[in-house]
Structure 1
Amino acid sequence: MKLKQAVMGVAALACMSTAAHAQSAGSIYLSTGWFHLAPQSSSDPLTVTSIGGSPTNITEPNTGASLDSADTIGFTAGYFVTDHIATEFVIGVPPNFNLYGTGNLAQFGKIGQAKQWSPTLLFKYYFNAPTATFRPYLGVGVSRIWFTGEEITNSAFQANVLHGPTSVSTDSSWEPVFNAGFTYNITQHWYAGVSISYLPLSTTAKLTSQATTPVGPLTVTSQTKIKLNPIVTYVNIGYRF
C-alpha cells in the first residue's frame, strides 16, 4: 500500500511539473532564430519635385526600383496572459536591403542600399491545450518601421539620372503585422517554432542631389514611393520559464 501511494505521489508531482512548465498563463519565454525577409516589392516612377528650390512635378516614365531578399538573426520575448493568449516582442539585427533599378533603370543594376529596423509587438492566440506538444497559433500586431544607412551606391546612376552626388532619406511609419505559426515542445522547457508574417509596408524615398548645370550648381529633389510588403519567415528555438 505504501509503495502504491509513493508511486502515485511521484506521478502526481510529475504531472504538476509538466503543467508548471507548459505554455500556460504566467509562462515567460525567450527565443532566437533565423529571419528571412522576402519583399514583394514595386515602386512608383521617379518624380522630380523641385529644381533650384522651384517646385516641379516631372515624372520619369518607366522608372522604378525593387529590393532583394535579406536574412538576419531574430530574438523574441513573450508572456502568456492566459493559457491561450500571449503577448510577444520581436526584434532582429537590422537586415541590409539592396535596391535595384527596374524599367529604364534596370541597366544600372544595384543602385542603393539601406538597413531596416522593425521592432514588433504581437498578440497571439494559441490553439490546443497548454500541455500539448504541438500548438498552432494566429497573431496580429504592430511594427515600428524605419531605415538607416540609406545611400545611393551606384556612381553611374548618380551621374546620369540624378545628375550629381545624392543623399537619401526615408519615411518612418507604424504598420500592421499579420502572423501565423506553431511551436513544438521538445522538453518541458525547450521548444522549436516556425512562423510566417506579412507586413503591408511602403516608404517614400526622398533624394536630394547637387546637380552641375550650365548655370551653376543646383539642388534637385526627387522622390519615389517604394512598396516592400515583405513576407517574413522565422525559424527559431526557444526556452520557456
Structure 2
Amino acid sequence: MQKQFSFLPHIAALSVMAACAAPAMAQTAGSNIVNVGWFHLAPQDSSETLRKNDGPRAGPVNGSGATVGNADTLGIAFTHFFTDNISLTADLGIPPTFKLDGTGTLAGVGKIGQAKQWSPAIVAKYHFGDANSTFRPFVGAGVTYVWYDNVELTDNFQRTISSSYSGGRLSTAKSSANLSSSWAPVLTVGANYNFDKAWSVGLSVSYIPLKTNADITTELPAALGGTTHSSTSLTINPVVTFLSVGYKF
C-alpha cells in the first residue's frame, strides 16, 4: 500500500503537465473572432491639376494641387475560419475624416476641405502555422467599396475659386463638391499572437490602390457665366495599419 501511494504525486504532476500542454485551440475551423482596435490611414497621395470645365476662363488652374492628410479611427473586424488556415474577414469602422490641403498655387489657401470616407472591406486570408500556434502570420487579399459623404469646402477655398473664375470681380460665389465612389482591391499582411484559447492581439498592414474624382459646382451670377463646373482627380492609395485586440467565441 505504501508503494501505491508513492505514485500519486507523480501522477498528479503528469496530469498538470498534460493540461498545460493541451492545445490552445485558438484558431481552428469554425472559429469566430471579433477584433476591436485602431485604424491608422496614411495616404500615399497625388493629385491632378484643378480644371474649370465650362464658361469663361475654362481650362486648368495652373499649378494647382491638393494633398490628403493622415486619419485615425476605431476599427472592428469579424473573422470566420473555414479551415484551420483559411479565413474570411469583414473590416468595418467609424468612417475617418480626411482633410485636404492646397499645394502649388493653392498652397496659400491652406485647408481646402474635408470628407468622411466609408470603406468596408472583405478580405480572404491564409494563416501560417497550425491552429494551435501562439504566433500566426498571415497574408490576404480582398476588395473594398469606397464612398464619401459630408464633403465640405472651406470658405477660404470657395473665395479663392470664386475670385479666379470671375476674373477677380466676385469672391462670394458658393461652391460644393462631390467625390466619386469606387471598388478597390485590398492587399494585407499581418500576424496574430494568441494569449490563450479566447484572447489575442493582432497587427496588420494593408495597401489599397484608390483613386477618386472630385467634381466642384460653383454658382456664379449669369453675368459672369452662370453655374460652372470644375474637376480634378485624387490618388489616395492609403497604407492602413490596424492594431487590435481579438476575442474568439
Task: Tell me the TM-score normalised to structure 2 length.
Answer: 0.87
Query: Would the aligned equivalents of 2:95 and 2:118 in 1 still touch at CA under 8 Å?
Result: yes
SS at match of 2:161: helix
After TM superposition, the runs of 4+ consecutive aligned structure 1 residues lying more than 2 A away are 1-16
Spell out the pairing of 1:189-204 with structure 2 (5 A cutoff): 189-204=198-213
Corresponding residue number in structure 2 for 1:128: 129
Corresponding residue number in structure 1 for 2:30: 26
Aligned with residue 39 of structure 1, among 40, 43, 47: 43
Query: Would the aligned equivalents of 2:37 and 2:74 in 1 still touch at CA under 8 Å?
Result: yes
1:48-94 residue CA offsets vs partner (Å, 9 max, x unmatched): 12239xxx961122111111101000000011111111100001100
Corresponding residue number in structure 2 for 1:114: 115
Corresponding residue number in structure 1 for 2:157: 157
Superposition deviation, residue 32 in structure 1 = 0.3
Greater radius of gyration (CA): 2
Query: Would the aligned equivalents of 2:119 and 2:147 in 1 still touch at CA under 8 Å?
Result: yes
Query: Would the aligned equivalents of 2:109 and 2:160 in 1 still touch at CA under 8 Å?
Result: no
SS at match of 1:178: strand
Aligned with residue 171 of structure 1, among 180, 197, 207: 180
- Which whole-Å CA distance do the structure 2 matches of 1:173 and 1:134 have between them? 35
SS at match of 1:23: coil
Give RMSD over aligned pairs: 2.2
**2:55 equivalent to 1:51:** yes
- Which whole-Å CA distance do the structure 1 matches of 2:71 and 2:186 have between them? 18
Question: 5+ unaligned residues in a row in structure 2: which ranges?
Answer: 166-172
Considering fraction of residues, name the structure with more strand.
1
SS at match of 1:137: strand
Letter in 2 for 1:158: Q
Query: Would the aligned equivalents of 1:204 and 1:223 in 2 still touch at CA under 8 Å?
Result: yes
- Which whole-Å CA distance do the structure 1 matches of 2:121 and 2:189 have between them? 14
Corresponding residue number in structure 2 for 1:233: 241
Query: Would the aligned equivalents of 1:210 and 1:217 in 2 still touch at CA under 8 Å?
Result: no
1:158-200 residue CA offsets vs partner (Å, 9 max, x unmatched): 1222452111111111100000000001122100011100000
Query: Would the aligned equivalents of 2:121 and 2:145 in 1 still touch at CA under 8 Å?
Result: yes
- Which whole-Å CA distance do the structure 2 matches of 1:95 and 1:113 have between them? 10
**2:197 equivalent to 1:188:** yes
- Which whole-Å CA distance do the structure 2 matches of 1:177 and 1:216 have between them? 45
- Which whole-Å CA distance do the structure 2 matches of 1:157 and 1:183 have between them? 45
The 1:57–1:24 alpha-carbon spacing in structure 2 relative to 1, beyond 3 Å, is: farther
Query: Would the aligned equivalents of 2:118 and 2:147 in 1 still touch at CA under 8 Å?
Result: yes
SS at match of 1:51: coil
Letter in 1 for 2:134: T
- Which whole-Å CA distance do the structure 1 matches of 2:115 and 2:71 have between them? 11
Letter in 2 for 1:165: K
Spell out the pairing of 1:64-79 with structure 2 (5 A cutoff): 64-79=65-80
- Which whole-Å CA distance do the structure 2 matches of 1:35 and 1:29 have between them? 18
SS at match of 2:159: helix
Superposition deviation, residue 212 in structure 1 = 3.5
- Which whole-Å CA distance do the structure 2 matches of 1:160 and 1:115 have between them? 23
- Fraction of identical pairs, as percent: 41
Paired residues, what number? Answer: 234
- Which whole-Å CA distance do the structure 2 matches of 1:12 and 1:175 have between them? 48
- Which whole-Å CA distance do the structure 1 matches of 2:14 and 2:157 have between them? 76
SS at match of 2:226: strand
Corresponding residue number in structure 2 for 1:101: 102
Corresponding residue number in structure 1 for 2:170: none
